Structure 1
């Protein structure tokens, strides 16, 4: 258990992840880019033998609205804010463009690429800290996610809570259904799991600055610190913030922020856990892929000189259990 580990988890959600905060017209360009970005990420990972966990919204396994409604659980979330409910949207949207809501071919591409783990991001992008959610509805949602994955021959063993709203009350439900790992949040007030209302401007601005300057630490950790009851918590270390032309002059600082944490993890035999969404790469694709290549180059150096390994979340669980 002395080896350091580079972990990547990717929250794959298409429009389901932003449906309640962004109009489709305002986000369409990013979603269009996802279908170019994912194959490029996968080629990069395969070329460099990098493993990754793709936390995938269950609805993406479906081919169309009809299939989605058939796969949906009968128990629906009772959010007090009805706009959060994806089923209301699914049933009432007049023109539901399949490109932005369903992607079974991309799920298959991920699953068929060596070293890539298809994990769960719940079935419906379920919000575990919003008013009106319940354990009963969450259990039904998770069971729907597991069923639809099983229909493709996949067994999810890891999960990422949507909006990072991880809820300790629900961990037993994960364990009941064979989920052995989840991604927790970085330590500290900036990254605390809250409902949407708790994600205020001060937190968002603090996280932005923390992407470029070390305000909160490296957020790396010893693997053995994650031991305990299943599911294991493998917290995030850093969000890979996408390229922003207005902040292009800070790209060097962003890279240094990440690589210094990676080096710290390598030298102290710890875990560094990087995450992002495919839609973060949906515009400025060349710049974002180029930045990822530089991160992977750093990993390859650390693999060669410090023995750092690349593992998905399920593999990390196996490593922790094996001791």
Structure 2
């Protein structure tokens, strides 16, 4: 299987775009960054029953190849943060690859190993996806990254830095067995934990996705994600309540791993809110234009299962977002860069 390869930055610096002037430091163009949280049922297992979410998961096998085709057609680079379980073919392989040190969540329902060991009839297509992982890795410009091995929650009571480290070791081992080096990570449920960044560095990670700034997007445990926060984020998808959340590359400088925060969640189409779809697209386009003109980063993210239902409608929306990027690439010189590529760009500067 082909591993992700980052183009050498000096080659990128030879590119010249009409109308683009180099700022004093940092990139001389804006960046359009996509990260995708690839998790299947592991991402919702503790909040939704399999029967309730089956339709969304069934659609992933069709949605991912369509996304990859679209990305290849438009030369879009993306970072696929992949749960380590998905590299496995079945339950036995997953348990064999699992670390011996496991998180002792106070809420036992959060533990995926208990679920993995006790589920009598584990339907493989909802829990494992080695062929899809291979397809991502074989597509030009796609970075296979980590979403931890077990969809690990870094802010829940009972887990520790030691068990997080064991989880990352398992994730890097199973990727290495496929010829892949994991350089970027997305914290499950966006529970990024500053106390654990040193652990990321120890395991060779160069980048992670932090959260948008502000109270609405603060990293908390599950209990902290109350109805007010969720409602505020929903409204913010259609109306600019919190800003564009774009940023200069220089602002991310520091010791490894580097934080490349999210700018916007690509919320899936909602049949009850179709009359607001124009506002949702306008919100994203304005932020992209803001980033392109100010030579900043716009970081969009979503899950494949968000496209599992109403796939055609969600793909059409994504196509319109990418059409905007194509325009900004022509006019402003905006680049498509994955998370590891952003890290390399900053190191080069």
Match of residue 31 from structure 1 = 57
Match of residue 201 from structure 1 = 227
Pairing partner for 2:34 from 2, 5, 8: 8
Is residue 2:140 matched to residue 1:114?
A: yes
- State the distance in 1 between where 2:186 and 2:150 align: 12
Moved over 3 A (4+): none
Is residue 2:127 matched to residue 1:104?
A: no
Deviations along 1:174-197, whole A, 9 cap, x unmatched?
111110000000000000000000
Pairing partner for 2:248 from 222, 226, 231: 222
- State the distance in 2 between where 1:223 and 1:258 align: 20
Match of residue 311 from structure 2 = 285
Match of residue 80 from structure 1 = 106
Match of residue 317 from structure 1 = 343
Deviation of residue 81 (structure 1)?
0.2
Is residue 2:94 matched to residue 1:63?
A: no
Is residue 2:273 matched to residue 1:255?
A: no
Is residue 2:51 matched to residue 1:21?
A: no
Deviations along 1:51-86, whole A, 9 cap, x unmatched?
000000000000000000000000010000001000
Task: Count residues with an aligned counterpart.
Answer: 323
Deviation of residue 225 (structure 1)?
0.2
- State the distance in 2 between where 1:61 and 1:266 align: 36
SS at 1:53's partner residue?
A: strand
Structure 2 residues not aligned, in runs of 5+: 1-26
- State the distance in 2 between where 1:78 and 1:177 align: 21
Is residue 2:276 matched to residue 1:239?
A: no
- State the distance in 1 between where 2:28 and 2:256 align: 21
Deviation of residue 2 (structure 1)?
2.2
* TM-score between both structures, scaled by the size of structure 2: 0.92
Pairing partner for 2:211 from 180, 185, 188: 185
SS at 1:54's partner residue?
A: strand
Match of residue 294 from structure 1 = 320
- State the distance in 2 between where 1:79 and 1:2 align: 46
- State the distance in 1 between where 2:275 and 2:67 align: 24
Deviations along 1:120-156, whole A, 9 cap, x unmatched?
0000000000000100100000000000000000000
SS at 2:301's partner residue?
A: strand
Deviation of residue 3 (structure 1)?
1.4
- State the distance in 2 between where 1:176 and 1:99 align: 33
Pairing partner for 1:92 from 118, 124, 131: 118
SS at 1:272's partner residue?
A: strand
SS at 2:135's partner residue?
A: helix
- Alpha carbon RMSD of aligned pairs, Å? 0.3
SS at 1:30's partner residue?
A: helix
- State the distance in 1 between where 2:73 and 2:144 align: 19
- State the distance in 2 between where 1:266 and 1:29 align: 37
SS at 1:38's partner residue?
A: helix
Q: How does 1:38-53 map to 2 (within 5 A)?
A: 38-53=64-79
- State the distance in 2 between where 1:175 and 1:42 align: 29
- State the distance in 2 between where 1:284 and 1:251 align: 14
